[in-house]
């Protein structure tokens, strides 16, 4: 399916979701969430494999300057450069807090942020009244995690130098995994920690070796484990993919800021998220775990009632961290 048709389906689906999201609940979830899953399946029914052609195309795409689609944002946007990467500063129309959020977007460590990332971030900026900092960090296949860590660390140090209040660290999917691994690395290095850590559907183990992975792969309409395993090996570079900066489920749990984790019941990230939540509990690490029945990967980004409820919870968390 060509990109234009896919984009049309997604945008048309989003319009339907806005209406259907106000409908009564069915099957224990909203009509909108069911439609969201069906739309994702349609868009991804011919999902391409990660091969040399796909990697070469992403190499070229990631070298182009990323631009936010015009006309979709209410926030004030200020791009700047740091450590060789483009960074977007997103400001609300009315500032209601001094804390800032450093947000690491998802995309399997190989894709740039989608229009749904930007719509979600714009909504969060306006709803919370906080400034969000969003780096377009280095990606595979040209770069491994090492280059991304160097760039994100430079940006983090810049933010610490600009304000006495450390930022909240936040991320979704691959960006959620990067956020946790980065916080673990800060702890290991004895560096200042973020105020809090909020992750959505984090990619915790790039090897995807959890024994229940096949079960959840059948439920997940978006992600294909075989593709992600290939990208995970590329992202690891010269390191073992099990290294904690690549697979943070294997990292230290001591000294982390309080971690808030949101995950859906119908996604391949769920079994590792459950395992990680148990590990945090057993280690006595401060955390809150929110598992939403029948929800898909990164569902808080969708225009559905369950997504809105999760965003309200995140807003309250951010208010508590102010």
Question: Which CATH architecture is the domain 47-320 placed in?
Answer: 3-Layer(aba) Sandwich (3.40)
Neighbours of 163 (CB within 10 A): 12
Q: Is the pLDDT of residue 70 over 60?
A: yes
pLDDT digits (tens, 9 = 90+) for 114-173: 999 999 999 999 999 999 999 999 999 999 999 999 999 999 999 999 988 899 999 999
Check residue 22 and give its pLDDT. Answer: 44
Please give the Cα distance from 211 to 291 (Å, whole number): 19
State the chain's mean pLDDT as an integer.
91
Mean pLDDT of 314-322: 94
Mean pLDDT of 104-113: 97
> What are the residue boundaries of the structural domains of the chain, listed by start?
47-320
pTM of the model: 0.92
Q: Is the pLDDT of residue 280 over 80?
A: yes
CB 176 within 8 A of CB 111: no
pLDDT digits (tens, 9 = 90+) for 169-219: 999 999 999 999 999 999 999 999 999 999 999 999 999 999 999 999 999
The structure tokens listed for 116 are 């749904």
* pLDDT-derived band at 306, boundaries 50, 70, 90: very high
Check residue 2 and give its pLDDT. Answer: 45
Check residue 38 and give its pLDDT. Answer: 85
The percent of residues in the chain predicted with pLDDT above 90, rounded, is 79
Check residue 312 and give its pLDDT. Answer: 97
Dihedral, CA atoms, 205, 269, 284, 195, nearest 10 degrees? Answer: 90
* pLDDT-derived band at 89, boundaries 50, 70, 90: very high
Report CA torsion sign: 198, 181, 195, 167.
negative
pLDDT digits (tens, 9 = 90+) for 235-272: 999 999 999 999 999 999 999 999 999 999 999 999 99
Check residue 101 and give its pLDDT. Answer: 98
Which has more confidence, 1 or 179? 179
Cα distances from 28 to residues 9, 259, 264, 286, in angstroms, run 25, 28, 14, 30
Check residue 25 and give its pLDDT. Answer: 52
Check residue 29 and give its pLDDT. Answer: 87
Q: Is the pLDDT of residue 23 over 50?
A: no
* pLDDT-derived band at 46, boundaries 50, 70, 90: low
Q: Is the pLDDT of residue 45 over 70?
A: no
Q: Is the pLDDT of residue 100 over 60?
A: yes
Q: Is the pLDDT of residue 9 over 50?
A: no
* pLDDT-derived band at 11, boundaries 50, 70, 90: very low
């Amino acid at each position: 399916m060509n990109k234009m048709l896919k984009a049309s389906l997604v945008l048309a689906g989003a319009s339907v979701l806005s209406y259907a999201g106000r409908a009564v609940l069915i099957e224990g979830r909203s009509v909108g969430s069911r439609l969201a899953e069906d739309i994702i399946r349609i868009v991804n029914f011919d999902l391409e494999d990660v091969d040399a052609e796909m990697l070469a195309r992403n190499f070229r795409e990631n070298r182009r300057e990323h631009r936010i689609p015009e006309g979709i944002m209410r926030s004030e946007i200020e791009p700047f450069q740091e450590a060789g990467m483009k960074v977007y500063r997103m400001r609300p129309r009315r500032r209601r807090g001094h804390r800032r959020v450093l947000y690491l977007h998802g995309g399997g460590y190989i894709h740039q942020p989608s229009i749904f990332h930007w719509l979600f971030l714009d909504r969060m900026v306006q709803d919370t009244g906080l400034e969000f900092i969003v780096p377009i960090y280095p990606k595979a296949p040209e770069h491994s995690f090492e280059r991304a860590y160097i760039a994100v660390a430079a940006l983090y140090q810049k933010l610490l130098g600009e304000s006495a209040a450390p930022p909240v660290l936040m991320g979704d999917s691959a960006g959620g995994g990067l956020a946790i691994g980065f916080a673990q690395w800060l702890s290991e290095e004895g560096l200042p920690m973020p105020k809090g850590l909020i992750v959505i559907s984090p990619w915790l183990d790039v090897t995807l070796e959890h024994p229940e992975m096949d079960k959840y792969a059948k439920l997940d309409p978006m992600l294909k484990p075989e593709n992600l395993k290939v990208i995970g090996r590329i992202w690891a570079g010269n390191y073992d993919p099990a290294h904690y900066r690549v697979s943070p489920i294997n990292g230290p749990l001591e000294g982390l800021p309080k971690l808030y984790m949101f995950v859906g019941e119908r996604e391949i990230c769920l079994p590792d998220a459950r395992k990680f939540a148990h590990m945090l509990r057993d280690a006595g690490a401060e955390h809150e775990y929110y598992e939403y029945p029948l929800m898909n990967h990164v569902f808080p980004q969708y225009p559905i009632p369950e997504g809105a409820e999760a965003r309200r919870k995140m807003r309250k968390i951010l208010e508590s961290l102010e």
